[in-house]
Amino acid sequence: MTTHFAQSVIRDEAAALSMLAQSIGASDHFARATKLIVDCANAGGTVLVTGLGKSGHVGAKISATLASLGIASHSVHPTEAAHGDLGRFRATDTVIAISFSGETDEVVGLAGILRQDSLPIISITGGAKPGEPSSLERLATVALRLGVASEAGGPQFVAPTTSTTATLALGDALALAAARERNFTSNDFARRHPGGSLGGLLRPVTEVMRWTAGKNLPLILCTKSVEDALHQADEGRRPGAMVLVKASGELAGIFTDGDLRRLVLRQPAALREPVERVMTKNPRTLYEDALVQDAVAMFREFRQDEIPVVDSAGKPVGMLDVQDLIAMRLVTE
C-alpha cells in the first residue's frame, strides 16, 4: 500500500513536469525571461531570487545553479529585504520572484517596491486557473506559470510537493537556457566548481596522471628486445605498462604487465625478441587536452587500465593509470 501511494506521488509530479514542458512552448514568456537573465548577466548585474517558505528554499537552489553556471546570483529573503536588504538590489539587477498563489504579502510587497525602481521582475506562480492575473503577475515584467492545479499526495496532504518540484525544474530550465545563450562551457563550469566528483571529472587528464614522460616515465624504443626494455623500465616505481615509441618519438604501442606474464608462460625465449613484436599496437589514447571524464568513459567502456596520453603529433606526454582514477573515487576496481 505504501509503495503504491509513493508511486502515485511520483507519477503525479512527473505528469506536472510533462505539462510544464509543453506549456513553456505555448508562448514567448520563457524566451523573454531567459533574455532578461542573459541581459542582466552580460551587463554585470546580479539575478536576485526571492520567495517565502518552501518557495524561498527552492529559490535558493535556483540561485545556486545560476551562480555555478557563471551568472551572478543571490537569494534574498523578502522579509529581510524590508529591513535593510533592499541595498542588495541595483539598477543592473533582475529579480525572480516566486509565490505559488501569487499573493504572498511579503513577496508582492517587495516586488511592488522593486517595480517602482524599474527592476525587471520574472514571476513564477502556480497559475493553474484562467482568469485575472495574480498581484505578483501584475507587477512582473514577465510572468511564468507552472500550471499546477493540485499537490501530489492530496487531498490527504497539502504540503507543497508538485509545485516545488515544478518550480525547481523551471528554474533549472531558465538557468541552463541562459547559460547556453551565453556560450557557457564545461571548462567554465570546471573553473567555478573545482571540488567534488563533478570538478574532478572536468579536470585535464594531465593534472591527475602520475606518470610523465621525461620525469618518471621512460619512453622505450620499440626495436629493443623485451629483456632490454624491461631493464630500462625497471628504474624505481613504474606504471603497469611500458610506453614504446618509434625512432621519430611517436607512440608505437604499450607493453603491459599482463602482456609480459602471458609471453613468459607461452614462450620464455621471447624475452630476446624485439618488443614491437609482442606489444599492444595502436592502443587507445587520450590527447593531452582531454578531461578526466573522457578517461573515465574510456575505462568503463574498454576496461583499459593504462591509457597513454599523447600530444597533437602523437608523441607520448605521460600515462594515466586506472589507479589514478580509483584514488579520486571516480571508478572502482
205-327: CATH number: 3.10.580.10
Structural domain boundaries in the chain: 2-184, 205-327
CATH architecture of 2-184: 3-Layer(aba) Sandwich (3.40)
Matching residue, cell 571529472: 201
Nearest Cα neighbor of 185 from 206, 169, 202 is 202
Nearest Cα neighbor of 167 from 111, 228, 221, 97 is 97
What's the pLDDT score for residue 292?
85
Residue 273: φ, ψ to 5°: -80, 155
Integer Cα distance of 309 and 88 in angstroms: 48
Cβ(118)–Cβ(150) under 8 Å? no
Q: pLDDT of 100-142, one tens digit each? A: 999 999 999 999 989 988 899 999 999 766 678 999 999 999 9
pTM above 0.85, yes or no: no
Nearest Cα neighbor of 21 from 141, 133, 180, 173 is 173
Residue 214: DSSP 8-state: T
String of DSSP letters for 154-167: TTT--SS-HHHHHH
Residue 118: φ, ψ to 5°: 65, 25
Strand partners, 306: 321
Residue 243: φ, ψ to 5°: -100, 120
**pLDDT tens digits in sequence order for the chain, 333 residues long:** 788 889 989 999 999 999 999 999 888 999 999 999 999 999 989 999 999 999 999 999 999 999 888 899 999 898 887 666 666 788 899 999 999 999 999 999 999 989 988 899 999 999 766 678 999 999 999 999 999 888 888 777 778 899 999 999 999 999 999 999 988 866 655 555 555 555 566 677 887 788 888 888 899 999 999 888 888 887 656 688 889 999 999 999 999 888 888 888 788 777 888 889 888 898 999 999 888 888 888 888 888 888 999 999 999 999 888 887 777 666 665
84: left (phi over 0), alpha (psi -120 to 50) or beta: left
Cβ(106)–Cβ(61) under 8 Å? no
* Biggest CA-to-CA distance, the chain: 90
Buried b (16+ CB within 10 A) or exposed e, 232-259: ebeeeebbebbbbbeeeeebbbbbbeeb
Strand partners, 51: 98
Q: Say whether 205-327 and 2-184 share the same fold.
A: no
What's the pLDDT score for residue 306?
87
